[in-house]
Amino acid sequence: MNSIGKPALSLIVLGLCMAMTFCTDADLSGRNGRTPRAFTARVEDNSTRLSLESDGYLSWNKGDRISVFSSAVNEKYLFSGTDGDHVATFVKDDQAVSGAGFGRCYSVYPYGQALSCTKDGTITAVWPGSQQFQASGTFDRNAAVMVAVTKDISDTDLLFRHVGGYLMVSLWSPVKTVVKSVTLRGNGGEVLSGNCTITAAEGKNPSVSLEKIKDNNGGDNEPFGSDNGAWTRGGGASDGTKTIVMDCGAGVELSQDESSPTQFVFAIPPVTFSRGITVSIVDDGGETYVKSTSKELSVPRAFLQPMKVFSIEKEWTGPKKRIVCWGDSFTNYYVTPAIAYPEYLQPLLGNSWDVFDAGISSQRTHEIAARQGALKTYIKCSSSGITIPGSKSKSVAISGISITGADTMWTSDTGQPFRGGFWVSSATKRGGLNPCIINGVECKLSAASSSSTIYLSRVEDGPDVSVSDGDQIHPYGETHYSDADVFIIYMGSNGGWFKSQNNYDLLIKQHKAMVDFAKGKKYIILALHSTSTRWYPENFDHASYYSKMHAAFTDEAGDHVIQLREEVNARAEELLIRTGVYSSADQISDLDRQYISEGRWPHSFMYNSPADEHPSKYGAHAIAILVKEKMRELGYLDD
């Protein structure tokens, strides 16, 4: 049987047809028209209940109690058996035996003093608005309201049916976070708790309706769910029926692993949230975190509905570590809004890290290495030199930019680096050239996309500055990112390494130059992912390429290379679910399965395959997951 943690799990009925024999007085009580002293109790399924075992089965436990009505009298029956029983015996807690005016028995789990029942099976109760956290993946044993109806007064078999459904909210945090409470609210004002009426009939599924409660000063009524509990019928403001609060007692420490989040399961009446839900989480410091959805969401009776995993980003007060992601449009795609794995990596790592996206579309390998500082970049101008005007509103033209070794040792591409200057004017603080330092002065390079002419100006007003041919340009990435704690490289799709000749040695040499230049030496290489001949030649040998990459970038810390094509393909089903494309493997489309069978990324992970194989938002999320896992493997994470 599937466990409670499986997504979109329907509670399927299991026929636990197990008979039990009871004492003679119990049988005689039924035959004499009185309530039996003992009952056999089982549940319509084995997928939710009080506690959940590792094999997915449910169990009854010591302390379980039920209410039994064979008349208007609410009689308490106690569990009599061994913890972990799947079929339970409940016996009356005293010797008194009431009459049986209803001609059959109605039973409610859990027992509550405030419960009442009529002859036609109309039960008045309170749906608990305060529920206790039990353990990750299960729910409050006293909140799982169930009812059973016997065939007649002599029937001692209670088949309990779920009255409500179950909503699982999954939370994780990249840093230590202790949760004190989780509050669930429907964005459409749906009623979730309070006074309710349950309709029960033999052989049929129960139904429930809730009413809005007005203030009526009735807070001292009898409790439901325990003899001395806090859930009472009557009392409380009407708004209280729109929420359910999960009380976490002394606190629940959230998982720091997104793949195995802490699961909070709410027992709720069957409901359709017309505008999604809002979850408010309060930590042990009193900080509140709010997470919301907007899509319609239905939770039917006897159904476990999982939600997407929410990340709780606790405010970080200590020093932050920095991670820089170098690359081309794979790292910073040009669509609006931008699709980039660094955007998904930031929440995965949390506020103790700053993630910088240093990707610029269309750049070749030597240009990326030059922006980082691994290759030196120089001014090209006349032999007599130029003068940068003192006014920042004025500029001077230069002949171009040169990159050290931009010849057959480094690249097969000729012509002006940085695509005729167009990419020179990349956004500030994204690892572009600007603002750069030339002869100790902060400058800006600019160019029109249609022109190869590059212009140079000061960032702030100051004195004129003389510049000679061959003076070095120190890009922003070199001056601000070279000492990052971790850096990631993806490059090669746009050329710069004799890709038409499969010159992997040159591509590896360019990667090594960047690794050697970085001061931290903590790095990850994202190996090329596509199978399209738009990006690579027809004879591109992924196996040879990967083999050489792994050999070059494996050291005492481990293997620094992520084989994007193979690893994403091998874990496609898992990643399609973790990134939210599907909630279960049986929902995966035929097209995605076709792509997987062909050794490719799933179609859902690509922006517009086959015309465009940049990562989609789901593909970017998958890459971020793999990067974080590699960081943990290499010991880059504190956890």
Alpha-carbon gap, residue 572 to 593, rounded angstroms: 9
Nearest one of 393, 476, 477 to 436, comparing CA atoms: 476
Count of CB atoms situated within 10 Å of the CB of 462: 14
Would the pLDDT of 104 be above 70?
yes
Nearest one of 544, 412, 433, 421 to 478, comparing CA atoms: 433
Would the pLDDT of 12 be above 70?
no
Would the pLDDT of 143 be above 80?
yes
Would the pLDDT of 590 be above 90?
yes
SS3 135: coil
Nearest one of 86, 85, 82, 75 to 38, comparing CA atoms: 75
Residue-wise pLDDT for 76-100, tens only, equals 999 988 888 888 899 987 766 666 6
What is the DSSP code string of 70-120? SSSS-EEEEE-S-TTBSSEEEEESSS---B-TTSS-EEEES-BTT-EE-TT
Q: Which residues contact 427 (CB under 8 A, 6 or more apart)?
A: none
Q: What residue ranges do the domains of the chain occupy?
A: 9-311, 376-479
Prior bond of 463 cis (ω within 30°): no
Residue, of 520 and 20, whose pLDDT is higher? 520
β-pair partners for 324 = 356, 487
pLDDT band at 145 (very low <50, low <70, confident <90, very high): very high
Burial class (CB in 10 A: 0-12, 13-18, 19+), 16: middle
Alpha-carbon gap, residue 164 to 148, rounded angstroms: 14
The predicted model gives 419-423 an average pLDDT of 42
Count of CB atoms situated within 10 Å of the CB of 43: 28
Alpha-carbon gap, residue 332 to 615, rounded angstroms: 10
User: What burial letters (b/e) apply to 589-614, b meaning 16+ CB within 10 Å?
Assistant: eeebeebbeeebbbbbbbbebeeebb
Nearest one of 190, 188, 189, 207 to 198, comparing CA atoms: 207
What pLDDT does 448 receive?
Answer: 63
Alpha-carbon gap, residue 525 to 564, rounded angstroms: 10
**Strand 288-292 to 116-117 pairing:** unpaired
β-pair partners for 278 = 185, 292
What pLDDT does 224 receive?
Answer: 38
Strands annotated E in 188-230? 194-199, 207-210
What pLDDT does 600 receive?
Answer: 86
What pLDDT does 518 receive?
Answer: 84
pLDDT band at 499 (very low <50, low <70, confident <90, very high): low
Alpha-carbon gap, residue 472 to 437, rounded angstroms: 8
Q: Which amino acid is at 236?
A: G
Prior bond of 337 cis (ω within 30°): yes
Residue, of 29 and 26, whose pLDDT is higher? 29
Alpha-carbon gap, residue 490 to 332, rounded angstroms: 11
CB 298 within 8 A of CB 272: yes
Burial class (CB in 10 A: 0-12, 13-18, 19+), 509: middle
Q: Which amino acid is at 256?
A: Q
Lowest mean pLDDT among 30-39, 185-194, 233-242, 571-580: 233-242
SS3 610: coil
pLDDT band at 253 (very low <50, low <70, confident <90, very high): very high
Alpha-carbon gap, residue 178 to 180, rounded angstroms: 7
Would the pLDDT of 235 be above 70?
no
DSSP 214: P
Would the pLDDT of 319 be above 60?
yes
SS3 478: helix
pTM confidence score: 0.64
Mean residue pLDDT of the chain comes to 80
The predicted model gives 155-168 an average pLDDT of 94
Residue-wise pLDDT for 209-229, tens only, equals 998 654 333 333 333 343 433
Instruction: Report the Cα 25 to chain-centroid distance in Å.
Output: 56
CB 51 within 8 A of CB 141: yes
CB 211 within 8 A of CB 194: yes
What pLDDT does 530 receive?
Answer: 66
Alpha-carbon gap, residue 285 to 314, rounded angstroms: 10
Lowest mean pLDDT among 175-184, 316-325, 422-431: 422-431
What pLDDT does 335 receive?
Answer: 56
CB 407 within 8 A of CB 417: no
% of the chain at pLDDT higher than 70: 77
